[in-house]
Structure 1
Amino acid sequence: MTAQTDCRRVVTNIALSLDGRYAAPDNPLDMSWVMPYAVTGVARDHLTGLWEPTTTALLGRVNAEGFLGFWPTVIGMEGADPRDEGFARWLVDTDKVVLSSTLGEAPWERTTVVDKPAAEVVADLRATEGGDILVLSSASVIKALLAADQVDRLALTVFPVFLGGGPRLFDDGLPAAKWSLTTQKAGEHGTLSLVYDRVRRPHTAAAGA
């Protein structure tokens, strides 16, 4: 699926605890709190609905290493959920942009490494043809794009657990913005899928002003 050059949406997706955290306080890389909920039907359907219209994945280095180290192994895995395998195949085949100041060359196919601010990278991508630009769970990238008001669709899966500490996604000082709830679904174990679209005046949609 493609869109007009000036209409490429920037879509961000991340999992949050009920108290608004995206990582545990003691070990930000430990995502074990996510796993019981990430394999629910509503979470899998949520991710499928995001990647299907997407032609560019945008990731930070840490998430790129995690995603691209794991997901290709799902392809052909015995007993794999078809939705997981579909996402894995898409991730391997789609164009990927990784933001990093330390990674010299990309060890993954169809991947470009860029050492520029996230908002500048998004502006460059918006100037090209393609479908949605999906930011996959990279909190630092999402934070930067929210601060620059460059997010068109905010997708969240909320899991019913308090982490009691750790980094929050929504920092103080974000630009005032109005959002429209596009979809909401509840699933197993209290998993909640939410998708919000940024409400903008028509002439500012592409610029993000």
Structure 2
Amino acid sequence: MGKIVLSTNVTLDGVVQDPDGAEGFELGGWFHQFVGVGDLEDWTANETEEALGAEALLLGRRSFEWFASRAPEMEARVGREWAARMNSLPKYVVSSTLEQPQWNNTTVLNGDAVKEISELKRTLDGEILVYGSYRLARTLIEHNLADELRLVVFPVVLGTGLRLFDETGDRKPLRLVDTRRIGDGLVSYAYEFVQANPL
């Protein structure tokens, strides 16, 4: 049985939109604006450890295309070990429009996303890592398919922007399972999703 892990960078006020500034959001680019050199080294080590522990990647179309476009230069930007793992992992992308994915080991899930991801969880063992993909993450949370949430919090308040939990239909209890400092300015939080206690 697979375990779906949502992993994302987030501002202190919960914004997940446009961390690298490529989407044109007026406050985008906060990742590199608020990460120090030591922070970046530790962040890379954290991401590498996480990728090495995963059995597959599950991505929305936009996040998939972002990663795929950077795959050739991933080693130079983030490091050989992380890049090699990202390139070798089986990848599943949820999209009704993507026909010929330009990244190796990719399967397109173009049917009923909830049904196909539920089947993926049944057939895979180990962690299924979801990077970014906040629209997909919302769907996974809403349908109780997400098992763990990992947030790397950046020390900035933007005041506006899309948040991971902008559109939740109900309460979603979580249990804190890990807290770590990353470098001098970042903090990693890991939570398990738990079923709500009956009233």
Which residue in 1 is equivalent to 2:8?
Answer: 14
Over 3 Å counting, the alpha-carbon distance change for 1:134 and 1:46 in structure 2 is same
Structure 1's consecutive aligned runs of 4 or more residues displaced over 4 angstroms after TM superposition are none
Decide whether the 8 Å contact of 2:68 with 2:102 is kept in 1: no
Over 3 Å counting, the alpha-carbon distance change for 1:29 and 1:189 in structure 2 is farther
- 1:43 partner SS: helix
For 1:29, give the aligned amino acid: E
* Same amino acid, percent of matched pairs: 28
Which residue in 2 is equivalent to 1:33?
Answer: 30
Q: Which runs of 5+ in 2 are unaligned?
A: none
For 2:43, give the aligned amino acid: A
Listed as ranges, the matches of 1:134-173 within 5 Å are 134-173=129-168
> Structure 1: how far apart are the matches of 2:93 and 2:179?
29
> Structure 2: how far apart are the matches of 1:179 and 1:189?
26
Which residue in 1 is equivalent to 2:68?
Answer: 68
Superposed CA offset, 1:108-152 (max 9, x none): 211011223442232111121332111111111101111111110
Superposed CA offset, 1:71-106 (max 9, x none): 33133x3xx66xx32221111111101111211121
> Structure 1: how far apart are the matches of 2:102 and 2:167?
36
Superposed CA offset, 1:155-188 (max 9, x none): 1011011122111111354433332212111233
TM-score, scaled relative to structure 2 = 0.83
> Structure 1: how far apart are the matches of 2:100 and 2:22?
25
Over 3 Å counting, the alpha-carbon distance change for 1:117 and 1:170 in structure 2 is farther
Question: Aligned to 1:183, which of 151, 159, 178?
Answer: 178
Task: Single out whichever of 153-162 and 102-111 deviates more from structure 2.
Answer: 102-111
Decide whether the 8 Å contact of 1:8 with 1:130 is kept in 2: yes
- 1:16 partner SS: strand
Superposed CA offset, 1:24-65 (max 9, x none): 5xx772552112438524422332332222111011111111
Aligned-pair RMSD on alpha carbons? 2.5
Q: Which runs of 5+ in 1 are unaligned?
A: 1-6, 202-209
> Structure 2: how far apart are the matches of 1:152 and 1:67?
23
TM-score, scaled relative to structure 1 = 0.80
Decide whether the 8 Å contact of 1:55 with 1:131 is kept in 2: yes
Over 3 Å counting, the alpha-carbon distance change for 1:40 and 1:174 in structure 2 is farther
What is the aligned residue count?
189
